[in-house]
Amino acid sequence: MAPSPTGPLHIGTARTSLYNYLFARHVGGTYVLRVEDTDVARGTPEWERDIIDNLHWLGISWDEGPQVAGGEDIGPHAPYRQSQRMELYAGEAARLLESGHAYHCWCTHEELEAVRREQERNHEPPRYNGRCLRLTDADRASFAAEGRKVAIRFRVPAETIRFDDLIRGEVEFDNSLLGDFVVVRGDGMPLYHFVVVVDDQAMAITHVVRGEDHLSNTPKHIALLRALGYREPRFGHIPLILNPDRSKMSKRKEQTAITAYREQGYLPEAMVNFLAFLGWSPGTEEEIFSIGELAERFEIGDVHKAGAVFDKDRLDYLNGVYIRALTDAQLALRLRPYLPAILDDRSLLRLAPLLKERLVRLADATELAAFLTESDAQVGAMYEADLLVPKGRSAAETAPALSIARDTLAGVTEPDFASEELESLCRAAADAHGWKAGDFFRPIRVAVTGRTVSPPLFGSMELLGRERTLARIELALARLSA
RNA sequence: GCCGCAUUCGUCUAGAGGCCUAGGACACCGCCCUCUCAAGGCGGAGACCACCGGUUCGAAUCCGGUAUGCGGUACCA
């Protein structure tokens, strides 16, 4: 896998990494991570950190490459950052030049732009016109005297390139349709199509699994690698992840940074399961898999050929499944970052089972548990008095019911102020006064949590404690009679 | 424009000539359960397998063409 640190880890890159990982693990191969940081204008070390950290977070590990952002490269082919391999590229570019497979190009951006416009006007394919291929020594000398920067262009052989894609099967391209492309920029910086081929050879890469957007680039890579006398790896192109309108997934239309999902409390296990099934399926009706189980089952040849729309509803569903599968202790631990520090570990452990079935994302816990740390006054200010009144009842009926509830609860002293005890007493009270339990509980819920939707009432009251519970009901009573 | 890839319920997919009057999951709708919300259970609706033609006794599955979508076509990756 060879991400470019020009942005945070993208959903699509994450899935490509996952497929690479699953493929390598499944066949017992070596998984290499290489950082493609040749785009100095856009790349930054912070993005590299984001990519590596989030790959680790997903549970994806690699055998060679930088294991930690900014850390040491591990593996027999180090370094694994392209910015540190410049001598290699320079040497290989020189070889290309010597063998006549490449030539110097003195064209300026303006000249290139003019040619392109001309071609567009004549409805010709926009490609390099080969001017610098036919330069005289005098031309070269005068360009040099002008102080022009010189780029290196690969001379693309006019031939048909055929390869057997791991996912798509036989694919064929006519390279005579390609223009000669630049391999080293005027400022000496080697370009993607070139370095990727040089590094694949240097790092003994046998299988290249990448996004479908590279399918059309592959004939360039093959031409280049043949000119350099390299052995040809197998290529596999996985389909793109799409926006709901079926265009290539972009941050304009969808949240694409893995970090963003991580922050909202999607579990890495759910993310991996979800991503794996975006374009692949084990062919059975099972759908919950750990990353290890996926590696066992994953066949690169079974990857679907068409693009897949990112279906957030399904991710949400899967995340819920994974959250519910957590033990209370595990959930409490994962909930820590989303809840106020004043809630101690013991409270979290007691809170976990109340929230477990209600969480789509861990971050949802913040709102669901807010009533625990809000002040009594804050909670009291959250609702209008009529919110206390159940449907079909009046405020005049609700006030006495709530005061019965208050008296009932007040009768329980602290060590016994626990969920089951409270529930049975309240149910009995409701019954005794001719109220349906649900209606009777409504004003209590609103009084105690400030909301009509809350975690289970009696567990909530237990966590809140006797004093605060009663204070809040008292407040509600005052609101009702006002 | 040119080149390439793709096309099964709204979405992710199963399907590799008869097992398909096309299966599952998410989402949606209804019912049940129920202290709210969820979760769970049961059920429903939803795909003329893009279209046209061919091969075959028989095609979602094989072959052509068309359409549509996407990708590539940079001194970005």
User: What per-residue confidence (pLDDT) applies to A117?
Assistant: 85
Mean pLDDT, range A118-129, rounded to an integer: 82
- Closest C-alpha among A477, A480, A440, A431 to residue A458: A440
Tell me the CA–C1' distance in angstroms for A170 and B53.
25
For nucleotide B75, the protein residue with its alpha carbon nearest to C1' is A185
Q: Give the model's confidence band at A304: pLDDT under 50 very low, under 70 low, under 90 confident, else very high.
A: very high
A436 closest-nt by C1' vs CA = B35
pLDDT tops 80 at residue A324? yes
Bases of chain B below 7 A from a protein C-beta are: 1-8, 10-15, 23-27, 35-40, 69-77
User: What per-residue confidence (pLDDT) applies to A124?
Assistant: 77
Question: Phi and psi at residue A237, in whole multiples of 5°?
Answer: -115, 115
* Per-residue pLDDT tens over the stretch A75-97: 999 899 998 999 999 999 999 99
CA distance A438 to A250: 46
- Closest C-alpha among A336, A367, A329, A321 to residue A350: A329
Q: What is the pTM of this model?
A: 0.94
Tell me the two tokens of residue A340.
Answer: 């106020």
Tell me the two tokens of residue A359.
Answer: 């969480």
A427 closest-nt by C1' vs CA = B35
Say whether the ipTM exceeds 0.85: yes
Question: Phi and psi at residue A236, in whole multiples of 5°?
Answer: -140, 130
Tell me the two tokens of residue A79.
Answer: 């370094």
CA distances from A444 to A96, A380, A453 (A): 80, 12, 12
Question: DSSP assignment of A199-260, as one string?
Answer: HHHHTT--EEEEEGGGGGGHHHHHHHHHHTTPPPPEEEEEPPEE-TTSSBP-TTTS--BHHH
Tell me the CA–C1' distance in angstroms for A363 and B13.
29
**Strand-strand pairing, A181-184 and A151-154:** antiparallel
Tell me the CA–C1' distance in angstroms for A18 and B60.
30
Tell me the CA–C1' distance in angstroms for A139 and B27.
66
A38 closest-nt by C1' vs CA = B77
CA distance A228 to A165: 21
A382 CB-near residues (< 8 Å, 6+ apart): A374, A450, A451
CA distance A213 to A256: 17
- Closest C-alpha among A26, A16, A62 to residue A297: A26
Place of tokens 């055998």: A63
The residues of A assigned a catalytic role are 251
User: What per-residue confidence (pLDDT) applies to A409?
Assistant: 97
Q: Give the model's confidence band at A285: pLDDT under 50 very low, under 70 low, under 90 confident, else very high.
A: confident
